[in-house]
Structure 1
Amino acid sequence: MQEQHAFPFLREILLFLALAGILIPLLQRLRVNQVLGFLAVGVLLGPFGLGRLAQDVAPLGLFTFPNNDNVAMLAELGVLFLMFMIGLELSAARLWAMRRWVFGTGSAQVLLCAALIGGAAYVLVDGRLDAALVLGLVLSLSSTAVVMQLLAESQRTASPLGQAAFAVLMLQDLAVVPILILVEALSKHGAGTDTNVAVVALAAMAKAAIAIALIYLVGGKVVHPLFRAFARHRQPDVFMALILLSTFGIAALSALAGLSMALGALIAGLLLAETEFKHEVELMIEPFKGLLMGLFFMTVGMGMDALQIVHAPLWLACAVFGLVALKGLVIAPLLRLSGLPWGRAIEGGLLLGQGGEFAFIVIGYAVASKLLDGALGARVMLAVGLSLFITPLLARLGHAIGERWAERARAKDARHDEAALDEARGRVIIAGFGRVGQQLAKLLTAQNIPYVAFENDAKLVSQLHADGVPVYFGNASRSELLRRVHAADAPAIVLTMDHPTSALQAVRGIRREFPDVRLYARSRDEKHARALKKAGADVVVPETLEASLQLSAFVLEGMGLDERIVDDIVDRERDQFAAALDDTPGHV
């Protein structure tokens, strides 16, 4: 009897799960970008890598993917869930909060890059407008997966550059919708017939917009009540079933409307992003997120023929360099116009200069529908893949340029600050500009008492200094810094820093260099207060004492004592503590 396999592609699924189980923790340990790791494995083990040797070397068949058709289904699943996860992150509130960056800078970037890249591609595709339009639009997009992971690894997603890059990537993710619609419309119109491309595109957009609106409205009327009805049972299996039903159901509706299933999965994500179940959905799919991303990028790698690098090295080198250079030259000025300094704008241009993961989806559709020649499509996808591989290097180069530019700006600001510090005679000096230092500065300003402040947190100093606050980066225990602001003539020096050791060192240094200046210090507790007093501080205020006295005052007033009596009690306790500190051995 002939052997029957009830479960198709079982070997491929098992091999992928085994690779994912090894790769994900290994890449994390080695701090290698997961996207690039899965791409590389796909290239190595795919039909254009070791898989092509599987027929001659039988054991290789167990550890490779010799037939790309066998993983096509897995690739489709990867595409659907990638689109779903992107839709889940594109909430209307988030888009509106960053609307200037998203719809201003992001739209300008996509349109300008698409026009320039499309113009260059027009020559490559023998003057075919439809193919040039598709290439221009799809290559204007960058890789959300790679860029955001690089920013997360360097802990800069919340930085101005991180927020700007995220906003541009959000617009690019939205742009996938019209691009997918356009590719489908042009493929149905007929490859190579350019005469009415604009008319066909507009008509297709209008029809697709109506279909998407209907799917969105119908989906919203069904999905939200469905989740609300069944989620109250708080059963994880039911919740996961609803997520899968929504994704595949709306993808199927999209296919019935003549649109791609990937677009339907994106709509499913958008629908759930606007519900109160968004965060629960994110938690449910979080364990599968890396796996599904790996599935997508591994199958993408399997479709890349690395031997093309040998056959057309010059073409690929020019394509990769030209793509990165052109996008960088467009993105950097746009980021500068939007408010980033030149150094960070150039860094952003290099960071976003690669092609994006959507290129693999869209170019695959374009080749299948004969919009693009298969050989050209394969080369373009390889060029995009190579641009992804060099992105970490481009990011490091961009960061080095940004830091160098920032150092020059800081040096210029330092020269300006030196002039400002030379004029800071007769001001109260605040050392440490956290919550206590800022509160003191607010009270001094209200009484028109001038001050100058120092703080070790460079980010905080940059933010406040840009707003005109007289705060400078530096350590107040350094005598040369204090001499610069004429500490000997200061009416008072106030130490508000958090770190006990830093405060103690500052008191000793100040008292040694400026014995006559009035010195106030904030202490962590009684023990720290005694150490500061012994080191030479005139007045020490412990945080714990003041908090306990204020709390005690509220309690005593609540028990019916007169406010003046309570004030006398609190003042007496404060005086007793101050007297005890004055008796500290060794105090001068």
Structure 2
Amino acid sequence: MAVVSGIILNKLKIPAIIGYIVTGTLTAYIFGFRVEDSVDLNEAAELGIVFLMFMIGLDFSFKKITQMKQEVLLFGGLQIGISIAVFYAICHYLIGFNLDTSIILASAVSLSSTAIVLKSLNETNQTKTPYGMAAVGILVFQDIAVIPILLMIKLLSNQDLSMSEMLLSTGVSAVIVLLLLMLPGRFLARIVLRSSAKMKTDEIFVGTVFLIVLGSAYLSKYFGFSLSLGAFLAGMLVSNSPFKHQVASVLVYFRDLLLGVFFITIGMQVDAIFLAKYFIVVLLLVALMLLIKTLIMFAFLSLLRKAKVAMRIALSLSQIGEFSFAIFLLASQHKILNLGLDGGILNGIFGSEFVASITPNEIYQFLTLMVIFSMIATPFILDRLDLCVKFALKIFRIPLKIAKIGSKVGLNQKSQTEHSYEVVICGYGALGKKVLEFFSGCDVTTLVVDSNYERVEEGIKKGCNIVYGNITDKMIFREIGIQKTKVVILCVESPLAIEKACRHIMDISHLVRVIAQTDEETIEADLRGIGLYAVINGSREIAEILANSALEAIKESKEMGINREEENQ
């Protein structure tokens, strides 16, 4: 059902996430199946978040934070801090939730959707623009903030221990997890990845990656933390290794598939009758929430970026993210998400009878539907972002050309963090080494990709910029950012690998100039048909060189013979 709805929605240019959610809702009503009926389905859905956090960890490092310290620390910190404060005030004083519930709800609402926004930024190649960098920086900070939020839920849930005892217990457990994962875990992860890579068997490598991700996740869970925390740390372990890009290319399909299951389980929680009854109210609440989040972010971003860029960032991150469901679920499991209303301003406006008539299940449905509808609205906003920005600035009567403090800093940081390669060399065999040796005397940035780990190790020892990766897998080219590369040189022997790699590259971008070599004329014709920049037939080139050398030798021999005849005469 999800596949069929995904195909139909794709034809209509409607985001697939809507198809997953609709599939979940229909499944619940047609087959009478509810997500709470299946522990296995809940765990499978949670794995989607686990793999998402692992992929985020792959792109995370302290070096990256120092390069994007303004976007991550300043923008992210302000967004989380101000958003939690504003939504806490709304939840506690306006709506009437108790202290613990207000903190949890405010924390959940302050988060944005990493899955949707990052996918859009990658597809439109805007991750390195001032707008994209700021959005990514805030998302990175939010993803890191999920960890203390989940720890906070654990602290609030244990009423038997005092706060000091709980902090001490949590701190000791955190140190143990960090020591296990960061010290032996780093070396063990690299050893098992190196061993599986040397076996040259794809299924062994995939199994090894799964072992690292799930092993780290469940180790974290064993010590009382979330699966996501362990997966995030595991991603950090692999992020600085030559396996990073190949690991990411292997897991991306599993991540997307399991995230699809996650969104299906979200759809199963929707009460269609409730939605039909309160559809207008839900839309109004979603619109109000989007407006508040947009204004919060625009208020401080406009002081540090141009108005147009600030509004783009604010609109892009105005939704509630997928981690909010995980926060709601964990808080519910620990029985600290009390959705009973204590009064607040609503009590004074509508009366105690109206407030008492709102059940916790109805409040949970409102929260769930607000998250879902905000996520559904996001792809439409991102697809029409320029129009939305222009409309919003016009409504608020904000000039487009106002350059605020820090806008030039953002532009300068773009050039510092831009990380692309002019030439990518596929294969580090005898030919690849000769090609790379030629470029060593040129002012050209290069990256080498090879699936033979012995050669990768050799390249690393020689100081080459080389990564482990299988060029027959399309995702490896996406992971290394092939669309930003000027030239790709294929220095591999397998005709099948050459043809697959060429098709993958051309599918991603027709602007990349691909140069390949082959000895087979049929393969040469196929490669030229794909539209490569140049195809070198090695046998023909060598034959031509040999024949020309022979002709020169014959010519020299004849000249020497004439000279000898003249001497004899």
TM-score after normalising by structure 2:
0.60
Q: Distance in 1 between matches of 2:174 and 2:124?
A: 39
Q: CA deviation at 1:242?
A: 1.0
Q: Secondary structure at the match of 2:336?
A: coil
1:264 partnered with 2:244 = no
Q: For residue 372 of structure 2, what is the aligned residue in structure 1?
A: 385
2:389 maps to which of 377, 399, 402: 402
Q: For residue 72 of structure 1, what is the aligned residue in structure 2?
A: 42
Q: Deviations over 1:8-41 (max 9, x none)?
A: xxxxxxxxxxx45445555444332222332232
Q: For residue 350 of structure 1, what is the aligned residue in structure 2?
A: 315
Q: For residue 247 of structure 2, what is the aligned residue in structure 1?
A: 281
Q: Distance in 2 between matches of 1:148 and 1:239?
A: 26
1:379-528 to structure 2, matched below 5 A, reads 379-395=366-382, 398-403=385-390
1:30 partnered with 2:23 = no
Report the structure number with the largest CA radius of gyration. Answer: 1
2:143 maps to which of 156, 168, 173: 173
1:241 maps to which of 199, 207, 219: 207
2:288 maps to which of 322, 330, 344: 322
Q: Secondary structure at the match of 2:126?
A: coil
Q: For residue 367 of structure 1, what is the aligned residue in structure 2?
A: 332
Letter in structure 1 aligned against 2:130: P
Q: Distance in 1 between matches of 2:215 and 2:103?
A: 31
Q: For residue 461 of structure 1, what is the aligned residue in structure 2?
A: none
Q: For residue 270 of structure 2, what is the aligned residue in structure 1?
A: 304
Q: For residue 539 of structure 1, what is the aligned residue in structure 2?
A: none
Give the root-mean-square deviation of aligned CA atoms. Answer: 3.2
Q: CA deviation at 1:362?
A: 0.9
Letter in structure 2 aligned against 1:42: G
Q: Deviations over 1:134-168 (max 9, x none)?
A: 11112100001122233445553443212211111
Letter in structure 2 aligned against 1:97: Q
Letter in structure 2 aligned against 1:308: F
2:65 maps to which of 95, 108, 129: 95
Q: Distance in 1 between matches of 2:237 and 2:262?
A: 23
Q: For residue 213 of structure 1, what is the aligned residue in structure 2?
A: 178
- Assess, with a 3 A threshold, how the Cα gap between structure 1 residues 38 and 256 changes in structure 2: closer, same or farther: same
1:126-141 to structure 2, matched below 5 A, reads 126-141=96-111
Q: For residue 193 of structure 2, what is the aligned residue in structure 1?
A: 227
Which ranges of structure 1 fall in alignment gaps of 5 or more residues? 1-18, 55-63, 414-588
- Assess, with a 3 A threshold, how the Cα gap between structure 1 residues 399 and 208 changes in structure 2: closer, same or farther: farther
Which ranges of structure 2 fall in alignment gaps of 5 or more residues? 339-359, 404-569
- Assess, with a 3 A threshold, how the Cα gap between structure 1 residues 207 and 380 changes in structure 2: closer, same or farther: farther
Q: CA deviation at 1:204?
A: 6.4
Equivalent residue pairs, number = 377
User: Residues 109 and 330 of structure 1 are in contact (CA less than 8 Å); yes or no, is this contact kept in structure 2?
Assistant: yes
Q: Deviations over 1:101-128 (max 9, x none)?
A: 0111011101110111112112477452
Q: Distance in 1 between matches of 2:77 and 2:67?
A: 16
- Assess, with a 3 A threshold, how the Cα gap between structure 1 residues 28 and 318 changes in structure 2: closer, same or farther: closer
Q: Distance in 1 between matches of 2:7 and 2:288?
A: 35
Q: Secondary structure at the match of 2:221?
A: helix
For structure 1, which segment, 161-170 or 90-99, has the greater mean C-alpha deviation from structure 2 after superposition? 90-99
User: Residues 142 and 169 of structure 1 are in contact (CA less than 8 Å); yes or no, is this contact kept in structure 2?
Assistant: yes
- Assess, with a 3 A threshold, how the Cα gap between structure 1 residues 202 and 349 changes in structure 2: closer, same or farther: farther
Q: Distance in 2 between matches of 1:311 and 1:200?
A: 47
Q: Percent identity?
A: 29
Q: Distance in 2 between matches of 1:270 and 1:331?
A: 28
Q: Distance in 2 between matches of 1:403 and 1:176?
A: 32
Letter in structure 2 aligned against 1:344: V
TM-score after normalising by structure 1:
0.58
- Assess, with a 3 A threshold, how the Cα gap between structure 1 residues 203 and 28 changes in structure 2: closer, same or farther: farther
Q: Distance in 2 between matches of 1:303 and 1:394?
A: 25
Q: Distance in 2 between matches of 1:314 and 1:26?
A: 26
Q: For residue 105 of structure 1, what is the aligned residue in structure 2?
A: 75
User: Residues 88 and 106 of structure 2 are in contact (CA less than 8 Å); yes or no, is this contact kept in structure 1?
Assistant: yes
User: Residues 138 and 358 of structure 1 are in contact (CA less than 8 Å); yes or no, is this contact kept in structure 2?
Assistant: yes
For structure 1, which segment, 95-104 or 287-296, has the greater mean C-alpha deviation from structure 2 after superposition? 287-296
